[in-house]
Amino acid sequence: MSTRSSSPAPRRASRGGGLFSTPGLVLGMEGLSKTFPGQRALDRVNLAVRRKEVHGLVGANGSGKSTLVKILSGYHGPDADAAPTCVFAGAKVALPLTPGESHRLGMRFVHQDLGLVPSLSISENIGLAAGFPTGVARRIRWRAQLALAREGVRRVGLERSPQTIVERLSPVERVLVAISRVLLDQEGTQLLIMDEPTANLPHSEVERVHAAVREIVGGTGAGVLYVTHRIEELFALCSQITVLRDGKVAALLAAAETDTDTVVAEIVGQRVDQKGAEPGAREGRAGGAVLVTKAISARVCNDVSVELRRGEIAGAAGESASGKSEFGRVLFGLTQPTSGTLLLEGKPVKLAGPAEAMAAGIALIPPDRLRQGSIGELSVRENVTLASLDRSVGGALAWLSIRQEKRDVAAIVRDFDVRPSGTEHRLEMLSGGNRQKVLLGKWWQRKPKVFVLDEPTSGMDVGAKAAVHSALRRAAADGAAVLVLSSDEVELSELCDRVLVFRAGAVIDELAGSRLSRQDILTAYYGNGDTGGKSFQASEDLGTRKEQLS
C-alpha cells in the first residue's frame, strides 16, 4: 500500500454568516445536530450546496452521512434544541421536513437501492416517479410517455428501448434509469441527492454515471449532493467536498485545490487517542493455520489468499460491495468458487453447501440476523438445537428429548447471558443483541474450528457489543479461528489480531501488530487508489457476470 501521508492540520470549514449569502445557494444548513440514544450522529454541521454544483460528501462509516441524507429526506428530524436553520432555494425552511415537503421543495433522491420496480419497464418506472402525462379521464397517454422516456434515456446515455424491463438491465443501467427519472421530473428538481450510487458498480462504468450527473446539472441547473466512498470520484465529478468525521464537518475543500492524501487524512482524522490497540497483548496468541485459501475467486471475490489461524481473531474490513461477505459465503459453501483452492487443516476441501461446511467444522453467522440467521417464530431452544440436530444419535427419526434439549439450551442461555433467560420464548421476542447471543450459542455448541461472523454487532448497543466481543475472544482462546467481517472499523481495531482489507473483491492490505487502529484501517481502505487497477478488474468481471445473470 502507499505510504501514509503525514496528517496535515485539520482545515476548518468556513462557517458563520457567510453561508447564506453564498451566490446561487440551493441548500444551506447551519448548526444541524442529531442525537440518537447514546450517540451524537451529527454535531453542528453546516452545509451549502449551490446551483449547478456537484458537492461531494464523504466520511467513514458512522460519520453521519446517512443521517444527514435522512434528515433531508424527512426520515429523521434534527435535534430541535440546537435550533438549526435551513434555507432552500432562497426561502427559509422549517425543520424537520416531511417526505412530502422535501419532494415539494424540489429535492430528489437516488438512494443506493434505487427504488426501481424490476418487473416494470424503464418507461413505467420513469412515469411512477416523474408523473405520467395524462389525457381524458386521467388516462395515461402512453405514446407521449414513451416519447418522454426515450428522451430521458437518451440524455443519460442509455442505449435501450424505454420499453425494456428493468430486470434485464445491468447495475449501471439501472442507476442511469434512476437518474433519468430525476431529469424528467415535471415539477422541477432543485437539489439531487445521490447516496452512493456507484457503490456496487465497477470502475469502468462509474464514468457513465458521472456523465449522467453532469447532464442533470446542465439540463436542470440543479445542485447535486453526491455521497460516496470513492475518493477518486470526488476529483472526477465534484467541485466542493465536505468531509464528515464523527458527526462533525472535518473539512470543506475545493476539489481543485486539494488532493487524495488530504481528503483521506480528513476522513481518518488525527492519530490521537488511539483506542484499543494493545500490540503487546495481541502477539503470540495465534497458533497454526486452520483454514487457508489459495487464490480463491468467486463472483465478487478475486484471487483471495488468506490464512486463518487457530486462536486468532481475524477481521475483514471493507464496504458492502467489497467482497468480504462473498468471501464468508465461500467459506461456508454458499458460493462456489470459480477457481482457487480451500485447504482445511492442510487438506483441500470442496464445500458443496452449508451442511458440508458444518460437517467440516465451519460455522457462519450471516449478516441478516432476522431473516438469514434465526427463525423468529421458533423458540430460543428450537433455534439453538437446529444446529445440533445432525449430531443426534439415530439419524433423522431418532427421538429428541425435549427435556434434554431444555437442559442443554438453558446452559447455553446462561453461558451467553441471554435475557430473558428462558428457553421457550419465541426468538422474535428478544432484542437484537440477545438474539445474536442466542445465535452465538447455537453455533458455538458445535465447537467450530472456523467461526465466521458477518457484521456480528450491527445495530447493537455498547453493552451487547461488548458481550458479543467477549464471547468471540473466548472462542478464540478455546482454539477456534475466528473471522469477523465488519464495516465497523472501531470494532475491527478493538477486537481483531489481524485485519484483511477488502476492496473491489480483493484483499488489498493486511494489517497486524501496531498497525491496527481505526485510522490505519481507514487509510488502507481509502488511501490505496494506486492498487486499484488490478482489483477493479475483478469488479468489472463482476459487472459483466451480473449482466449475464440478470
Partner 1 sequence: MSVEEQGQSPDPSAEAGTGRFSAWMPSGGTTLVILERFGLLLLLFAIIVAFSVALPDSFPTDQTLTAIVSSQPAAIFAAFAVLVPLIAGEFDLSVGFGLGFTSVFFAWLMGNEITFALALLIVVVIGLMIGAVNGWLVVHLGMNSFIATLGSGTILSGLILYFTNGQILSENLPQGLLDATRTEVVGIVLPVFYVVAVGLFMWYVLEHTPLGRRMYATGAGVEAARLTGINTQRLRFFSFVAGSMLWVIAGLINTGRIGAAYPDIGPSFLLPAFAACFLGATAIKPRYFNVWGTVAASILVVVGVTGFQQAGVKEWIEPVFTGMVLLLAVAISVRTSVLRARLHD
Binding to partner 1 by residue 387, rule CB under 8 A?
yes
For partner 1, the binding residue among 168, 275, 414, 545 (CB under 8 A) is: 414
CB atoms within 10 A of CB 391: 9
Binding track over 201-240 against partner 1, x by CB under 8 A: ----------------------------------------
Distances (CA, A) of 500 to 78, 322, 492, 536, 540: 36, 11, 10, 17, 22
Task: Report how many residues bind partner 1 under the rule CB under 8 A.
Answer: 53
Q: Does 385 bind partner 1 (CB under 8 A)?
A: yes
Task: Name which of 220 and 374 has its Cβ closer to partner 1.
Answer: 374
| Cβ proximity to partner 1, 430 vs 480, nearer residue | 430
Three-class DSSP category at 42 = strand
The residue assigned the cell 424505454 is 162
Q: Please check whether residue 315 is in contact with residue 282, taking contact to mean a CB–CB distance below 8 angstroms.
A: no
- Residues 6 or more apart whose Cβ sits within 8 Å of residue 126: 145, 148, 149, 152, 162, 177, 180, 181, 184
Give the phi and the psi of residue 210 in degrees, each rounded to 5: -60, -40
- According to the binding rule CB under 8 A, does residue 98 interact with partner 1? no
Q: Out of 406, 469, 473, 474, name the contact with partner 1 by CB under 8 A.
A: 406
Nearer to partner 1, 425 or 469 (CB): 425
Asked whether position 167 contacts partner 1 by CB under 8 A, the answer is: no
If one asks whether residue 373 binds partner 1 (CB under 8 A), the answer comes out as yes
Residue 386 sits in the site that holds partner 1 (CB under 8 A) = yes
Distance CA 58, CA 54 (A): 13
Q: Is position 375 an interface residue for partner 1 (rule: CB under 8 A)? A: yes
Burial class (CB in 10 A: 0-12, 13-18, 19+), 425: middle
Interaction between residue 393 and partner 1 (CB under 8 A): no
274 is written with which cell numbers? 488511539
Residue from 133, 221, 422, 529 touching partner 1 (CB under 8 A): that is 422
- In the bound complex, what is the minimum distance in angstroms from residue 144's beta carbon to partner 1? 36
Looking at residues 439 to 478 of the shown chain, list those that interact with partner 1 (rule: CB under 8 A): 442
Q: Where are the beta strands (DSSP E) in 458-516?
A: 481-485, 498-503, 506-512
Q: What are phi and psi of 203, to 5 degrees?
A: -55, -45
Grid coordinates given for 161? 428501448
Which residue's CB is nearer to partner 1, number 271 or number 426? 426
Measured from the CB atom, the residue of 220 and 434 that comes closer to partner 1 is: 434
Structure-block grid coordinates of residue 124: 413505467
CB of 304 to partner 1, least distance (A): 21
Candidates 401, 382, 391; CA nearest to 447 is: 391
Binding status of residue 407 toward partner 1 by CB under 8 A: yes
Residue with smaller CB distance to partner 1, 91 or 396: 396
Q: Which stretch, 99-107, 110-118, 196-204, 394-402, contacts partner 1 (CB under 8 A)?
A: 394-402
Span 59-88, contacts to partner 1 by CB under 8 A: none
Q: CA 94, 96, 101 angle in degrees (round to 5)? A: 75
Part of the chain binding partner 1 (CB under 8 A), chosen from 73-81, 103-111, 165-173, 428-436: 428-436
Q: Which stretch binds partner 1 (CB under 8 A): 88-96, 176-184, 402-410, 510-518?
A: 402-410
Query: Which value, to the nearest 10 degrees, does the dihedral of the CA atoms of residues 207, 212, 214, 217 take?
Result: -160
Contact mark string toward partner 1, 349..368, x via CB under 8 A: ----xxx-xxx----x-x--
Nearer to partner 1, 360 or 475 (CB): 360
Sequence letter at residue 48: A
In whole angstroms, give the CA distance from residue 243 to residue 45: 11
380 lies in the site for partner 1, by CB under 8 A: no
Q: Using CB under 8 A, which of the segments 303-311, 348-356, 463-471, 513-521 binds partner 1? A: 348-356
Q: Please tell me whether residue 417 binds partner 1 under the rule CB under 8 A.
A: no
Residue 60 in contact with residue 229, Cβ under 8 Å? no
- Compute the distance between CA of residue 496 and CA of residue 494 in angstroms, rounded to an integer: 6
Chain residues in the site for partner 1 (CB under 8 A): 332, 334, 353-355, 357-359, 364, 366, 371-378, 382, 385-387, 389-390, 392, 395-403, 406-407, 410-411, 413-414, 419-426, 428-431, 442
